[in-house]
Structure 1
Amino acid sequence: MEILQKQLIITGATGMVGEGVLHEAIQSPFVSQILVINRKPCGVTHPKVKEYLLPDFLKPEEMRDAIKGYDACLFCLGVSSVGMKPDEYKQKTYDLTLGFAKVLHDENPNMSFSYISGAGTDSTEQGRLAWARVKGKTENDLSKLGFGDYYSFRPAMIQPTPGLKNALAFYKYINWLFPILKLFVPNSACTLQELGYAMLEASIFGSPVKTVEGKDILAFAKQMRARL
Structure 2
Amino acid sequence: MKAIVIGATGAIGQDLVKTLLYDDRYETVTTFTRRPLGFTHPKIQSFIVDFNLPDTWYHLVQGDVLFSALGTSLKQAGSKEAQYRVDHDYQLSFARAARENGVPHMVLVSSVGADSSSHFFYLQLKGLIEKDVEALQFPSLTIFRPPSLIRKHAKRPAETVSVKLLQLASSLGLFKAMTPVPTESVARKMADEGAHPSEGVEILSAQETRG
TM-score, length of structure 1 as denominator length = 0.80
Which residue is equivalent to 2:30? 35
Aligned length: 204
Higher mean alpha-carbon deviation, 181-190 vs 95-104, is at 181-190
Does residue 153 of structure 1 match 2:153?
A: no
**How far off its partner does 1:74 sit?**
0.8
Give secondary structure in 2 for the equivalent of 1:36.
Answer: strand
Which residue is equivalent to 2:107? 114
Distance, in Å, in 1 between the alignment partners of 2:41 and 2:70 is 21
Q: CA RMSD in A?
A: 2.2
State the identity %: 20
Out of 54, 58, 67, the residue aligned to residue 60 of structure 1 is: 54
Which residue is equivalent to 2:79? 85
Which residue is equivalent to 1:74? 67
Instruction: Give CA-to-partner distance per residue, 1:162-209, whole Å, 9 cap, x none.
Output: xxxxx3312784364575355334432212221011111211112477
Amino acid across the alignment from 2:182: T
Distance, in Å, in 1 between the alignment partners of 2:165 and 2:27 is 36
Query: Which blocks of at least 5 consecutive residues in structure 2 are unaligned?
Result: none
Instruction: Give CA-to-partner distance per residue, 1:63-92, whole Å, 9 cap, x none.
Output: 134223x00011111011247433322222
Q: Is the 8 A contact 1:105 1:145 kept in 2?
A: yes
Distance, in Å, in 2 between the alignment partners of 1:182 and 1:19 is 27
Higher mean alpha-carbon deviation, 93-102 vs 57-66, is at 57-66
Does residue 100 of structure 1 match 2:121?
A: no
Q: Is the 8 A contact 1:10 1:35 kept in 2?
A: yes
TM-score, length of structure 2 as denominator length = 0.86
Amino acid across the alignment from 1:180: L
Amino acid across the alignment from 1:98: L
Instruction: Give CA-to-partner distance per residue, 1:84-113, whole Å, 9 cap, x none.
Output: 4333222222222112211121112x4211
Instruction: Give CA-to-partner distance per residue, 1:124-176, whole Å, 9 cap, x none.
Output: x2221122112111101101102221122111122235xxxxx3312784364
Query: Which blocks of at least 5 consecutive residues in structure 1 are unaligned?
Result: 1-5, 162-166, 222-228
Out of 13, 17, 23, the residue aligned to residue 22 of structure 1 is: 17
Q: Is the 8 A contact 1:115 1:153 kept in 2?
A: yes
Distance, in Å, in 1 between the alignment partners of 2:133 and 2:195 is 19
